[in-house]
Copies of this chain bind each other. A is one copy, B any other.
Amino acid sequence: MSGPARPSVTLRDVAVRAGLSVMTASYTFSQPQRVSAASRDRVLAAARELGYQPNAAAKSLRTGKANAVGVVFSENLAYAFRDPQAAQFLAGVADICTEHGLGLTMLPTSGGREDPTVIASAPVDGFVFWTTTADDPTLAAAARTGKPVAIQGGPSVPGAECIGIDDNQAAQAVARLALHGSHRPLILSFPLSPDRVPSVTTGIDPDTATFPVTRNRLLGYRIAVTQAGLSWPDTTTAVLSHNDRTEASETARDLLAGHPNRYDTAICMSDEIAAGVLAAAQQLNIAVPQTLAVTGYDNGPDAETLQLTTVDQDLYRQGRTSAQAAMNLRPAPAMPSRWRVCPRATTRPGGDTGG
């Protein structure tokens, strides 16, 4: 019978006030040219007088459109606001939403069993995923809805558009700079999989990484290490639990303290991690790049200040492209995004910049 208390003015109220039918009132807003100027004016006047505001849920139920982009961070939503790379990406998503009047709905996945249901029932028209794994159940749930899906950084799965750069190539390129004059490289890696177990190992197998971003960068690093004439089985990789400056700094300090010459290069999967390593080096009075060369990834806001050699990629634009793909706003699938190496002062001079 009567639903919950609803102070809102409906289209029916407006129509009654204007002395016209509900449909004329509806057309006044959706197809104004179909309505006579006189009726239109009466409807608009009535709407203004009553303070009419359309009901999004009703419109959505009827049309099947939600006018919103769904953003999924498979692990922890708050992470979206803590990872500077994610923030850059989301700024791009946000701008597309603003330009098209679309809501940006961040979906509350908790890592629990209901996540697929949350995704499947989300009132959105398409999904933007932040880097995840191929076996992510929320990704499968999104694909099952039949709505468009865009994924930053992979995995590439059927029915979803993958937005990002060629991480293998870019990792190779920056590692070549890092490895110039190096004999004992250290790699600081993103987590291998959502369990986020940290580790320190030698000769890590890139295929043990289920995050495609991690896997592809490790693959690129391995190629560069091997091509530099060094032994991958002897190369140490420290896997962090998070893309976090503080954790990177502590890990680097643990590995370098008391053994300032154990490693002569730190190849880092992000500028954040590299910033942590640089902080540790400063604390330990290790000269950069003479004693320790350092590279990052992303060319974020701090890279220039730190004079960090890194990979430039435009995550803001990737955010825009992802949102467009998720809302079918562009005709053709996006091309792989561009990248380039930025040689700066944290690597030894003379390295090869060729990509």
Which residues of A are interface residues toward B (Cβ below 8 A)?
Answer: 1-7, 51, 53-58, 60-64, 66, 68, 76-78, 80-82, 87-88, 90-92, 94-95, 97-110, 114, 117-118, 120-123, 143-147, 157-160, 279, 305
- Please indicate the chain B residues that have their CB under 8 angstroms from the CB of A92 in the complex: 78
Query: Beyond A1-B157, A3-B62, A101-B108: 17 further Cβ-contacts under 8 Å?
Result: A2-B159, A2-B160, A3-B143, A3-B159, A5-B147, A53-B120, A56-B122, A57-B57, A78-B90, A78-B98, A81-B87, A81-B88, A98-B109, A98-B110, A103-B105, A103-B108, A106-B106
- B residues near A101, Cβ cutoff 8 Å: 108, 110, 114, 118
Q: Answer whether A121 and B279 are a contact pair too, CB < 8 Å, given A104-B108, A144-B3.
A: no
Chain B residues with CB under 8 A of A110: 98-99, 101
What distance in Å separates the Cβ of A146 from its nearest Cβ neighbour in chain B?
Answer: 3
- Pair A105/B104 contact, Cβ less than 8 Å: yes
A256 to B76, CA, bound (A): 44
Query: Across the interface, do B143 and A68 meet the contact criterion of CB distance under 8 Å?
Result: no
Distance between A326 CB and nearest chain B CB, rounded to angstroms: 14
Q: What would 26 A/B residue contacts be, using CB atoms closer than 8 Å?
A: A1-B158, A1-B159, A2-B143, A2-B158, A3-B63, A4-B146, A6-B146, A7-B146, A53-B145, A57-B123, A58-B61, A60-B60, A77-B97, A77-B98, A78-B91, A78-B94, A78-B98, A82-B91, A87-B87, A94-B108, A98-B108, A101-B108, A103-B106, A103-B107, A104-B105, A104-B108
